Amino acid sequence: MSKEFAGKSVIVTGAASGIGKAAAYRFADEGAKVCVADLNIAGAETVAQALKDKGAEAFATKVDVSVKDDNDRMVAETVAAFGGLDAAFLNAGYYGPGTSFFDEDVTAFDRIIAINLRGCFLGIRAVAKAIRSGGAIVVTGSTGGIMGLGINPAYSASKHGLIGLVRSAAEPLAERGVRINAILPGGVNTPLNFGEMVDTYYPPEELKMPPFRGYGESQHIAEFALFLASPRAAFINGGAHVADGGLTSSFAAVMPATAPT
Ligand SMILES: NC(=O)c1ccc[n+]([C@@H]2O[C@H](COP(=O)([O-])OP(=O)(O)OC[C@H]3O[C@@H](n4cnc5c(N)ncnc54)[C@H](O)[C@@H]3O)[C@@H](O)[C@H]2O)c1
């Protein structure tokens, strides 16, 4: 069977770790040429080298997605290296130390919004200028973008805003033959939640269903990103799609057990 992304040029941001790393591996498995973009250039170089060792075309680039010129350079480098751009997985994100309405210092608030919201806008903007007709953009949001998060309102607000950007981008991008969608993961087993950890990788057919409302694997999200970036998802556009193992499907049993008298 021919590989789904054979010869296609793909950018993955946040590709040094977690979900982005899994997606970079899976795009390469499927024949894509991959720009491995991350603020963590050492991690990005390790991933790019691993892809090359597997026979893929890949290069690493250092990008702070909150910086306009970095996004523009990332796209220009990809077009120069691979002759064009067919898909982008704008996945880089930052949870930070948490934020609170009672914080004096709003540095963390500003950084989270800069990466997750401004970074999303700048990434879409840069990619839109170069991506070929028939291409697709996938952005990583969060279930924190459809529910509040008392321990990190900046993160929740940034991911709510990201959905607005994705929905707003759908019509102008469609005029150029390009689709855009957001994935809203629930809890995923990555360094964002658990710090240093060993990556897992499975052949797609061996991926397991996690416990209800449990943590997923990076690859669960990566598989969804590949699907949304592929022509198999040609009718799916402008959406924000939950992938959360049932986390937001129904109320958890957290309400008082007794009714008021
Ligand atoms: N892990 C979860 O439970 C979870 C849940 C919902 C959404 N998400 C989202 O998934 C995406 C990927 O997160 P992950 O869980 O794989 O985390 P991760 O920490 O493993 O990976 C995030 C990557 O983004 C990079 N990054 C951070 N700031 C950057 C910047 N300014 N410019 C470029 N790269 C930057 C980091 O260096 C890191 O390699 C994020 O957008 C995150 O908000 C994660």
pLDDT tens digit string along 26-85?
A: 999 999 999 999 999 999 999 999 999 999 999 999 999 999 999 999 999 999 999 999
C-alpha distances in Å from residue 2, one per residue of 7, 32, 61 = 11, 12, 29
Residue 78 Cβ < 6 Å to ligand 1: no
- Asked, for residue 248, whether it belongs to a domain, the answer is no
129 confidence band (pLDDT: 50, 70, 90): very high
Supply the CATH number for residue 239's domain.
Answer: 3.40.50.720
Q: In this predicted structure, what is the pLDDT of residue 28?
A: 98
- Evaluate: CB of 61 within 6 angstroms of ligand 1: no
**Residue 169, domain extent:** 9-243
Number of structural domains (the chain) is: 1
Per-residue b or e along 199-235, where b marks 16 or more CB atoms closer than 10 Å to that residue's CB: eeeeeeeeeeebeeeebbbbbbbbbbbbbbbeeebee
Q: Are strands 240-243 and 179-185 parallel, antiparallel or unpaired?
A: parallel
258 is a domain residue: no
At residue 203 the predicted structure's pLDDT band, cuts being 50, 70 and 90, is: confident
Q: Does some domain include residue 3?
A: no
**From the CA of 157, how far away is ligand 1's center (Å)?**
16
**Order of strands, edge to edge, in the sheet holding 179-185?**
58-62, 33-38, 9-13, 87-90, 136-140, 179-185, 240-243
* Separation CA 209–CA 100 (nearest Å): 34
Asked whether 191 lines ligand 1 (CB < 6 A), one says yes
Query: Quick check: is 259 in a domain?
Result: no
How many CB atoms are closer than 10 A to CB 42? 10
- 260 assigned to some structural domain: no
Locate the ligand 1 atom nearest the alpha carbon of residue 21 and give its number: 16
Is 140 in contact with 93 (CB distance < 8 Å)? yes
Query: Across residues 76-95, what is the average pLDDT?
Result: 98
Cα 127 to Cα 36, 56, 57, 130, 178: the distances in Å are: 15, 22, 20, 6, 10
On whether residue 256 sits in a domain, the answer given is no
Instruction: Out of 67, 74, 94, 200, give the residue to mutate to test ligand 1, the one with the largest number of ligand atoms within 8 Å of its CB.
Output: 94
How far apart, in whole angstroms, are the C-alpha atoms of residue 82 and residue 154? 36
| Within a domain: 257 | no
Q: How far is the CA of 116 from the centre of ligand 1 (A)?
A: 9
- The answer to whether the CB of 62 falls within 8 A of the CB of 39 is yes
Residue at 141: amino acid letter: G
For residue 259, report the distance from its CA to the centre of ligand 1, in Å. 41
| Catalytic residue status for 155 | yes
Q: Residue 148 Cα, ligand 1 centroid: separation in angstroms?
A: 19
| Phi–psi pair at 87, nearest 5 degrees | -155, 150
Number of CB atoms found within 10 A of residue 63's CB: 29
pLDDT tens digits, 244-258: 999 999 988 777 777
In a domain, 250, yes or no: no
> Catalytic: which of 25, 94, 95, 155?
155
